[in-house]
Amino acid sequence: MKLSKKILLSFDYEPYLGAKSGTAARCLLQPTNALRTILNKYNAQSVFFVDILYLLNLKKYSESNNDITAIIDQLKTLYAEGRYIFPHIHPHWIDAVYLEDKKEFSLNDLSHYSLNKLKKDKINSLFAESIKFLQEIGISYTKWGYRAGGWCIQPFSLIKDIFIAKDVYFDFSVLPGYKNIHVDQAFDYSMVTWNAPYWFSDAVETQDVKGAFIEFPIYTIKISQIAETKDRFVRKYLWKIGDRGWGDGISAKTSAHTIIFDKEMMAIEILNISKLRGYKEYVQNEEYMHWLSHPKMFTRHGLKMFDRFLKYAENNFDLIFDFHEMIPPPKK
């Protein structure tokens, strides 16, 4: 009898968030279709966090109608395949500038990058608009999930009653062992050292077995020194042969995290042949793993390694992909 392993696969469905957003085709549509082939191959359940404010901006510009139609069609396909589709809010889209000549957006203004830079009524309206958008295209749940843009969900007390009012009970924002002291992207999860879903109430970083909400922390994996050395050579080789990130935009200048523990996120875009063994060893030894990946950053090599990992895991373990089956029992 095979041991059971819980593999939570989550994806931030978004363009780039800096000076140049990139195109819908390169950042979303093409890499997500390549991903779907692998997910369907292993019947792997997954969660997509959709940057709704990007889509609302697309709707404002007639030139972008083809993009918004294609994206909605893809989201409907993902939903029909059984994927979870939840909102992902990057507030600084309210300050985005449309680049007419490039048919893209510039998001250089980062003053509203974090939700806590907004007034509560504005935050409430962003949640309402995001859920309404998904419902209007036929995507709805009795209980919603959420991932904060830039992992900035602190202080949770600011939005707790909004979560309750909008039926949001699952959060996927905590990155254990990381913090960022950037003025526009501040968060601190350095005190979170456990790697398993947990209940919480007033603070996402504090466990509370009597809480109403559930946090699904993102897994961070330690890479050996040998693997790190090999990784540098592999990345240089992939760059040389042109296997680079799928997307064609520019990142926001906020994401230089302070790493408390010598680890990195488990993600398709940074997985390569040098790290595959470490991922396999992890699934051998642990029960739960949560990947956070971004289609815009996929490489073809990374997807190939992801395929190889899932094949290995499927051959050796009984895999659980649905996050509902990972919810810890509440305290009676």
Using the predicted structure, report yes or no on whether residue 301 has a pLDDT greater than 80: yes
Round the average pLDDT of the chain to a whole number and report it. Answer: 93
Q: Which of 254 and 308 is assigned the larger pLDDT?
A: 308
Using the predicted structure, report yes or no on whether residue 184 has a pLDDT greater than 60: yes
Which pTM does this prediction carry?
A: 0.95
Using the predicted structure, report yes or no on whether residue 26 has a pLDDT greater than 60: yes
Q: What is the pLDDT of residues 214-227, one digit of tens each?
A: 999 998 888 788 88
The top-scoring range by mean pLDDT among 9-13, 19-23, 112-116, 191-195 is 9-13
Q: What is the pLDDT of residues 226-277, one digit of tens each?
A: 888 899 999 999 999 999 999 999 998 765 555 555 678 899 999 999 999 9
Question: What distance in Å separates the CA atoms of residue 219 and residue 228, rounded to the nearest whole number?
Answer: 18
Using the predicted structure, report yes or no on whether residue 100 has a pLDDT greater than 90: no
Q: Which of 223 and 148 is assigned the larger pLDDT?
A: 148
Using the predicted structure, report yes or no on whether residue 117 has a pLDDT greater than 80: yes
Using the predicted structure, report yes or no on whether residue 330 has a pLDDT greater than 80: no
pLDDT at 172: 98
Domain positions in the chain are 4-326
Question: What distance in Å separates the CA atoms of residue 61 and residue 279, rounded to the nearest whole number?
Answer: 43
pLDDT confidence band for 320 (50 / 70 / 90) = very high
Using the predicted structure, report yes or no on whether residue 63 has a pLDDT greater than 80: no
pLDDT at 316: 97
Which numeric CATH code is attached to 4-326? 3.20.20.370
Q: Which residue, among 95, 96, 94, has the nearest Cα to 105 in the 3D structure?
A: 96
